[in-house]
Structure 1
């Protein structure tokens, strides 16, 4: 008889020594390894410790029968699947139904013949191979879906979070900061006179400018929950959890300083020879009435004020000052 291409480890469970030894001999003659167990409770422990590929399980055993053992094995697998073949002289319709209901996969009538056992084991091997392929395909599909999900939330040009991801993250952080009782800062940023940049330098240069500003924003988001995103066109968003009003203004000044040091040339800005940003900031401890839409409206209103005051600055919606007015040396002692 041809030997199987894959050798299995088979757990044989039978309280009677002679049938157990006959089953063991038949399995070993087919080129498989055997684990023996005479006690139903011990069989469950052997199954958990040794993790066999297949179980041959006698039905009629004292105290705990084979149906009980099958139920214990299925409960222990937690999503896995190990084929269970019942060995029994009982093979009526009701017996088969009870076995399948308990978690078994097939019946082999006693006395066991090597030819029938070989056929059953090969059938189980085919099912195991099919299941392994399905699991492999499922994992490949899961990874592909995860990659698509990630790509669907990233702005293709800048690599920052896109508008969809920003909206989702903002809702999450509102809920999180509400639970934690912590302040949440949201900032909307515009590259000053970006249309004039594109008109003078061209869209290829404009895209490169967006990428450089995006890189700077990404580098300034140092904490795990800080998020920088592109909201559309030349507009960017910063979500800064656990950032109070004063801290947000300090962050904004540092960002403007880093952009100044980057010295990105602007070909046609009335504000500066370099690329500059205007930003609107809003900060609050979210409550039951706080919404993403409300925060965005306040940040947009603050952005409008920053532009009205001369651009190249951030304006705080709550503090009613900008980063020029709020410099430390202007603060009263």
Structure 2
């Protein structure tokens, strides 16, 4: 799981109750996730994935395919009780999480009383997905989803901050969520004077405010005393109120999106660096640095797996050992660089010959290569093809037969299950190679054994 350690220094702006990080956890990962959290943060008291019951009390979350536990919060209220709260435990927040992931943009939940975990405030959640690749969106594919950045926003604080300059100037206003035309929701109401205006034309709704997937409408009208004192300024104030609130909210949204983008860039940079480090480490531990083939350690592990599979399936298994003749003499005569080039050429020939998905060719020793050939019909023909392919390169080697580089091949095909062990397969391959080296002319450079 992604650990948002780079968020620990973030302090939530005053208009946000907190900025939080939410992980995504599959059900089969739940036990390991909670154990890891308890081990990593011993100061937390018995971390678990929680949800609210009917009495608004926290309890362990019911079984679901996917959980969205809160892992980090910049807020100061009830931090311990907040940790582990599953944002996917209610239909509203779960739908907001899904919509945010599918679209890749911030999504706000409908305003409601956010109980217990956030201090019983009237507000909403602003949810932003953090992806490895922002271009890969959609469906239930969470492979590239690292988690969600969530801002807990207090409606009253946000509205008061946006229009603070006109609260005491005699303006009554109402902020309404009109996303669902059939269910208009009043988010905030400010009344300076309880008396209603007789002239309905004095009520001035501002242009709709599109905010993170929600549509808001601000309806404001001046009080009677305000009209009497500033009657000629009413159109100007109405325009300023609507425009000011719109631009302030847009600015707040821009700040949140900028912060989310900054976090996402850091995640991408660290993920890219980790992938490169893992790739280099895997190459160093599994592959031969000169040829790019798997090394002897990987060969031994692969041979054990293939032997077990062959015994289970009652199938034949073949092994081929290839040796470049007198490689040390070649290095002495032509130099180490030429010797390395020769090894790479032979490795390329073997890699091109063995193209079946189950075939595996590895660097065995300095001058030897070894190949595993499961379920290969007529495996012995590969020995002759290998010898012929190397001769066809016509690599000069003075002092050798035909004055060119040759390879010797020893191979074995085992069908007898009692003989099907890794050590015996390697021993038979060595026997075949030794025989062809002792009598090279008799076997034309290769010798194949069948154990049945």
* TM score, norm. by length of structure 2: 0.46
Deviations 1:3-34 (A, max 9, x none): xxxxxxxxxxxxxxxxxxxxxxxxxxxxxxxx
Whose RCO is larger (CA < 8 A, sep 6+)?
A: 1
Counterpart residue number, 1:274: 404
Q: Does 1:252 align with 2:298?
A: no
- Alpha-carbon offset, residue 207 of structure 1: 2.7
Select the residue among 306, 312, 316 that pairs with 2:448.
316
Mean Cα displacement is larger for which, 195-204 or 117-126? Answer: 117-126
Q: Does 1:208 align with 2:341?
A: yes
- Alpha-carbon offset, residue 235 of structure 1: 0.9
Counterpart residue number, 1:140: 273
- Alpha-carbon offset, residue 57 of structure 1: 4.3
Pick closer, same or farther for the CA change 1:41–1:166 going to 2, 3 Å.
closer
Counterpart residue number, 1:94: none
Counterpart residue number, 1:324: none
Structure-to-structure mapping, 1:85-164, within 5 angstroms = 85=151, 106=152, 108=154, 110=156, 112-113=158-159, 115=161, 122=255, 125-126=258-259, 129-164=262-297
- Give 1 or 2: higher helix fraction: 1
- Alpha-carbon offset, residue 286 of structure 1: 9.0
- Alpha-carbon offset, residue 60 of structure 1: 4.3
Paired residues of 1:196 and 1:268 also in contact (CA < 8 A) = no
Q: Does 1:301 align with 2:434?
A: no
Structure-to-structure mapping, 1:1-333, within 5 angstroms = 40=92, 43-44=95-96, 46-47=99-100, 50-60=103-113, 78=142, 79-85=145-151, 106=152, 108=154, 110=156, 112-113=158-159, 115=161, 122=255, 125-126=258-259, 129-178=262-311, 180-244=313-377, 247-269=378-400, 271-284=401-414, 290-310=420-440, 312-318=444-450
Paired residues of 2:93 and 2:109 also in contact (CA < 8 A) = no
Paired residues of 2:415 and 2:451 also in contact (CA < 8 A) = no
Give unmatched runs, 5+ long, in structure 2: 1-90, 115-120, 130-139, 163-248
Q: Secondary structure at the match of 1:282?
A: strand
The higher radius of gyration belongs to: 2
Q: RMSD over aligned Cα, in angstroms? A: 3.9
Q: Secondary structure at the match of 1:81?
A: strand
Deviations 1:176-210 (A, max 9, x none): 54555433221111122333333444433333332
- Alpha-carbon offset, residue 249 of structure 1: 0.9
* TM score, norm. by length of structure 1: 0.60
Tell me how far apart the structure 2 counterparts of residues 137 and 110 of structure 1 sit (CA, whole Å): 38
Paired residues of 2:99 and 2:107 also in contact (CA < 8 A) = no
Tell me how far apart the structure 2 counterparts of residues 188 and 77 of structure 1 sit (CA, whole Å): 45
Give unmatched runs, 5+ long, in structure 1: 1-38, 86-105, 321-333
Pick closer, same or farther for the CA change 1:285–1:149 going to 2, 3 Å.
farther
Paired residues of 2:306 and 2:374 also in contact (CA < 8 A) = yes
Pick closer, same or farther for the CA change 1:204–1:241 going to 2, 3 Å.
same
Pick closer, same or farther for the CA change 1:57–1:139 going to 2, 3 Å.
farther
Deviations 1:97-144 (A, max 9, x none): xxxxxxxxx352546426387769846752552244123311331133
Paired residues of 1:259 and 1:275 also in contact (CA < 8 A) = yes
